[in-house]
Amino acid sequence: MVQRRIPKYKDLRPLMNFKTPEFNAKKRRLQGALTIADLRDIAKRRTPKAAFDYTEGAAEAEISLTRARQAFEDIEFTPSILRDVSTVDMSSEVLGGRVALPFGIAPTGFTRMMQTEGEIAGAGAAAAAGIPFSLSTMGTTAIEDVKAANPDGRNWFQLYMWKDRERSMALVDRAAKAGFDTLLVTVDVPVAGARLRDKRNGFSIPPQLTVGTVVNAIPRPEWWINFLTTEPLAFASLDRWSGTVGELLDTMFDPTVTFDDLAWIKQQWPGKLVVKGVQNVDDAKRLADMGVDGITLSNHGGRQLDRAPIPFHLLPDVVREVGKDTEVHLDTGIMSGADIVASIALGAKFTLIGRAYLYGLMAGGRDGVDRTIEILADQIARTMRLLGVKSLDELEPRHVTQLERLVPRQR
């Protein structure tokens, strides 16, 4: 029979260490976010539907994005045991410079629409973390202002080739003069993808006020106060635009761009050149033969061609063909540090995060971006330790098995 007694104070005292409450609401909600999914939930609560859906959404039925994320879930890690992993080194050499972590911030358009701090928050967080920040042609902060926010760090400029070539190359010249070290040329946008969420939401620049948007804004007053009391939203590289995002993109993008144009751009740019949006092995080999410094396997976050190839599935074949001579980077679908570790193990030299960064931005501005980076870094370090590796160089294909879900039918 259980013997009971009155508890003594000395037994209760260790149980009475109450946690000091956090009275800062933003700090409290960010501290409570343990994953990128948690940041996404906060972002959704705090951001109007049209802006959130622009970040969240993809093209048509959004199959490409779903498959890209599923590919990361369909892996099996193979850990090694009894290794000294008391310290781990997550740094590496990327495009001729040291980076502290194996990921950087991807170029994102309309960023101040998501949260008013926009690219300045991203560039500042990247500077603090020692990782590259990429500014989009469709960004909402000037090239020079991004440089000021990240004066000593790695700044990359992402280029869409417009029909107006002079204006395109004027941006490239500005980026070079500002000290940006890498040019990302995005090549998967001959036309804009069919982003149906944006059409259904009437997402435009500037936002259209309807009964629906007003109702949606009522529980999100901070976003609207910030939007209405800061500088009007404008593109860093463009004139102001009144119309839907899709209409703007179709007006700008040049469907005549070829490999010859890319070679011409390469001649103009003094720094490193990476081609973003590569989706098959043959194109990767051709770009490597041209002498580009890197390629980014990407289907534009599923925002262009629906049912496009899955970048993570392409990775081993592309690395096998060009990885010795050309850096292979990866984006699309990355939502955890484990995804990044798996990518590095299969041969990617570097990865880029887009939505994960924007979820943090929407959740808490600069502090939210810092939290995104912190979450991913913690997950990378923990995954490396559990795999039994203490540096990125020790990650190998043997650590990751890609499980098959979608197997091509025999012809």
Instruction: For the beta carbon of residue 78, count every other beta carbon within 10 angstroms.
Output: 13
Asked whether the beta carbons of 410 and 166 are under 8 A apart, the reply is: no
Type of residue at 99: V
Angle at 131 between CA 128 and CA 137, to 5 degrees: 105
Q: Is 83 left (phi over 0), alpha (psi -120 to 50) or beta?
A: beta
196, 60 in Cβ contact below 8 A? yes
Helix 63-73 vs helix 337-345: angle between axes, to the nearest 10 degrees?
A: 80
**DSSP string for residues in 115-133:** -TTHHHHHHHHHHHHT--E
DSSP state for residue 33 in the 8-state scheme:
-
Helix ranges (DSSP H) in 324-411 = 337-345, 355-387
Here the tokens at position 62 are: 């959004």
Cα distances (angstroms) measured from residue 231 to each of 93, 140, 227? 38, 11, 8
Query: How many CB atoms are located within 10 Å of the residue 222 CB?
Result: 12
Contact, 202 vs 208, CB < 8 A? Answer: yes
The yes-or-no answer on residue 313 being catalytic is: no
Q: Is the dihedral of CA 389, 134, 116, 188 positive or negative?
A: negative
Rounded distance between C-alpha atoms, residue 276 and residue 262, angstroms: 12
Distance (Å, whole) CA 222 – CA 210: 19
Residue 168 contacts residue 145 (beta carbons within 8 Å) = no
Q: Is the dihedral of CA 193, 321, 181, 99 positive or negative?
A: positive
Cα atoms found within 13 Å of the Cα of residue 179, Cβ hemisphere only: 12
| Cα–Cα dist 76/402, whole Å | 7
C-alpha pair distances (Å), 243 with each of 190, 205, 250, 289: 20, 6, 11, 41
8 Å CB contact between 361 and 121: yes
What is the set of active-site residues?
Answer: 300
